[in-house]
Structure 1
Amino acid sequence: MGSNRFHRVILKGLLAAFLASAALPSFALAQANTRAVTRPLEPDTQPMKKDRVETQPAEGNAQGAAEEQTQPDGIVPSGGVELYQRMGAALPPAPPEKPYNGPIDEAYGAYQRGFYVTALDKALTRAGAGDAAAQTLVAEMMTKGLGIKRDAKTAAFWYRQAAEGGDPAAMFQYALLLMSGRDVPRDKKLADEFMRKAAEAGNSSAQFNWAQIVVSDNPGEKGLHLALPFYEKSASQGVADAQYAVAQLYVALKDLPQEKKAKAREWLERAAKAGFDTAQLDMGVWLVNGIGGERDYDKGFEWMRIAAHRGNVAAQNKLSHLYINALGTRPNPVEAAKWYVLSRRAGLQDPALEDFYLGISEETRKQAIEAANRFRRG
């Protein structure tokens, strides 16, 4: 049955592999979702990282050799999903709503109730008079074709008017248009200016994106220190990617106060509970290795399992190691081989797991391939 080979991947090698994955990631500029309407609530955009991959559908086959026939042609990064679609764990309690005693905005009220024609009619009148909030609403509705035919170029005009009028949501959206050159001439300098202004005005998505820009423009620890306050502000407003970044920086930056470093795992857990699969992966890594707190193999296994089920290939690979070494779970060669098969199909090579896989019996490999195919079909 290959039992000796099953235990060949020892704990020392596992922890070394886990530690290697715990290094500070390179942060890529995240383009938040295009929702701009912010009244009366702030936007809940949650950009995704690129660790998530999707592969071609598996071809059912009961023969052991069929595993090689189901290799995908390549790895395709997913387009990401909204927060409510990626809940892998219980969400943290929602923050209490802030009391609102200001004037009632009839245009936004109609928009939120789905009365788009009414909302557009009321907003256009105010937009023409220079109301920045109404201009943002008009741009949003034209972008999505709500109550009017979709018109991206005219929407860009209204975003610009609202941005120049000081609306934070419009400044953020217009900055994104300027970055991409979509429907407006590309202008990085002006885009950065509007992104910074939106971030300073409190827009949570702009705060995260401006932090990314600062890191990109200022390589090394200097840039990370300059960006950290914006990551922290965005994280405090619930942006999961910012919470993840704060956790990583609290661990990586050496000269931060100890009270901040002590909260690194707390921020990472908040991002993980929001359904961010990369944070779920790192929660598993941190708990297994004792990063940011005590070791907890059981909880580490659970977070790794959640991330693996969400499609995170690195988590699938590491979950295989946990099953082999019985860390947080009982040893299970079928499950170990199943998760290895899934991660290998996605292009992640692992010589130690390949050695384990070749050492198990043909019947175990067959069961693992069938389990992997069921998972992909599901």
Structure 2
Amino acid sequence: MKKKSVIAINLCLIASIVTLFGNKIYMLYIGDCHQLWEEAQTHYVNRQYEKARELLEKIAHIDTAHHAQYLTGDMYLKGLGGEIDYDKALKLFHQSAAGGNTYAENNIGFMYTYGLGVTKDYSQAFKWLNRAATQGNPEAQIGMGSLYKNGWGVRKDCYIAMTWYLRSVAHGNTDAMNNIGYLYKNGLGVPKDFEEAYFWFKKAADKNNPIAQYNVGNMYCYGEGMEKDFAKGAEWLTKAALQGNAPAQYNLGRMYQWGKGVKKDLQQARFWFQKAIDNGHEKAKEALTKIKSDLSKEDTEDPLLFT
């Protein structure tokens, strides 16, 4: 009996030692992962994407590392720090979503909406976007708005789209503000109202949203709900162009080409057309060809500019 008791005590002691050292090793491991996570975030914020991705890949396999899984997946989705890999992105988003990460849920919905690495499937898009949106995710709320605005997998209803955009605006989302401006400008789900459109575009533009800055600039140039003011239009288009907005770069190039709101400057026009081309703007190619072939000539005013 005593022998059995001694054996039992020894087994308990061994188990305690194993548990003690196991917990220490586990805590050291968790500590290392936390440090890697902190370092990865620092590199990400500083746009050192290759290093950030390298560090994140070391911890994203941990079941509970839901934030790391989401961020690593987002880098695969956008090609930050390496090549785009939709399969890896989707797998990581699902792992992160299993832990309740609404941004991962939103990105799954985004991938199904646009067919990125998966067959385009609006029912799946709705499922994932709605799941995240009803939990208050502002990006997913915009996604839901876009489904209703375009009639993707649901009956087209711009009024419902507006309600989703307004929910996103409550979180300060400037893309949602810009989208509301778009609905008012075009009379979608609401009466056409340039004053309201300008209000929402300007609200987002003041918060440095480049698409909204482009829209404000265009309203001034086209005189939508106001007197034309090419100088103010050029000012807002410049703000958008400096953030890489291709349509703004193209329109700014046209303004320099014809001297609208700015002093005519064909070299500046050429510069902005090239920037627009670099960002995928097709019309800018033809405009740049004309500028290159006629830099020394005086051109007549383009009758189609802002009419």
Say yes or no: does 1:303 pair with 2:230: no
User: Corresponding residue for 2:303?
Assistant: none
Matched position secondary structure for 1:299: helix
Say yes or no: does 1:243 pair with 2:177: yes
CA RMSD of aligned residues (A): 4.6
2:198 alignment partner, one of 248, 251, 265: 265
User: Corresponding residue for 1:215?
Assistant: 149
Does the Cα contact within 8 Å between 2:142 and 2:168 map onto a contact in 1? yes
User: Corresponding residue for 2:266?
Assistant: 333
Q: Assess, with a 3 A threshold, how the Cα gap between structure 1 residues 217 and 137 changes in structure 2: closer, same or farther.
A: farther
Say yes or no: does 1:312 pair with 2:245: yes
User: Corresponding residue for 2:186?
Assistant: 252
Shift of 1:344: 5.7
1:275 alignment partner, one of 199, 203, 208: 208
Does the Cα contact within 8 Å between 1:320 and 1:337 map onto a contact in 2? yes
Moved more, 313-322 or 346-355: 346-355
CA shift digits 1:314-357 (9 cap, x unpaired): 32322233224433222333323433454467643476775565
User: Corresponding residue for 2:217?
Assistant: 284
Does the Cα contact within 8 Å between 1:156 and 1:184 map onto a contact in 2? no
Residue type at the aligned position of 1:348? K
Residue type at the aligned position of 2:244? G
Q: Assess, with a 3 A threshold, how the Cα gap between structure 1 residues 288 and 201 changes in structure 2: closer, same or farther.
A: same
User: Corresponding residue for 1:156?
Assistant: 94
Does the Cα contact within 8 Å between 2:141 and 2:165 map onto a contact in 1? yes
Distance 2:162 2:283 in 1: 32
Distance 2:152 2:119 in 1: 25
Residue type at the aligned position of 1:195? L
TM-score by length of 1: 0.47
Distance 1:252 1:297 in 2: 22
Q: Assess, with a 3 A threshold, how the Cα gap between structure 1 residues 234 and 143 changes in structure 2: closer, same or farther.
A: closer
Q: Assess, with a 3 A threshold, how the Cα gap between structure 1 residues 310 and 143 changes in structure 2: closer, same or farther.
A: closer
Distance 1:336 1:216 in 2: 35
Q: Assess, with a 3 A threshold, how the Cα gap between structure 1 residues 182 and 286 changes in structure 2: closer, same or farther.
A: closer
Unaligned runs of 5+ in 1: 1-110, 118-135, 365-378
Q: Assess, with a 3 A threshold, how the Cα gap between structure 1 residues 219 and 250 changes in structure 2: closer, same or farther.
A: farther
Say yes or no: does 1:361 pair with 2:288: no
Does the Cα contact within 8 Å between 1:244 and 1:279 map onto a contact in 2? yes
Number of aligned residues: 227
Unaligned runs of 5+ in 2: 1-30, 38-62, 73-87, 299-307
CA shift digits 1:265-290 (9 cap, x unpaired): 12112332333333222222111112
Q: Assess, with a 3 A threshold, how the Cα gap between structure 1 residues 249 and 360 changes in structure 2: closer, same or farther.
A: same
Does the Cα contact within 8 Å between 1:199 and 1:210 map onto a contact in 2? yes
Say yes or no: does 1:198 pair with 2:132: yes
1:140 alignment partner, one of 67, 73, 81: 67
Residue type at the aligned position of 1:361? S
Matched position secondary structure for 2:232: helix
CA shift digits 1:159-209 (9 cap, x unpaired): 2353xxxx7556545645777999999975355224224323322111001
User: Corresponding residue for 2:283?
Assistant: 348
User: Corresponding residue for 2:158?
Assistant: 224
CA shift digits 1:120-175 (9 cap, x unpaired): xxxxxxxxxxxxxxxx9742244458xxxx9985873462353xxxx755654564
Residue type at the aligned position of 1:140? H
Residue type at the aligned position of 1:334? Q
Does the Cα contact within 8 Å between 2:129 and 2:144 map onto a contact in 1? yes
Residue type at the aligned position of 1:206? A
Does the Cα contact within 8 Å between 1:175 and 1:192 map onto a contact in 2? yes
Matched position secondary structure for 1:263: helix
Distance 2:294 2:92 in 1: 63
Percent identity between matched residues is: 23
Residue type at the aligned position of 2:165? Y
Distance 2:197 2:183 in 1: 8
Does the Cα contact within 8 Å between 1:313 and 1:348 map onto a contact in 2? no
Residue type at the aligned position of 2:175? D
Does the Cα contact within 8 Å between 1:247 and 1:265 map onto a contact in 2? yes
Shift of 1:210: 1.1
Does the Cα contact within 8 Å between 2:147 and 2:154 map onto a contact in 1? no
Distance 1:247 1:199 in 2: 21
Moved more, 236-245 or 332-341: 332-341
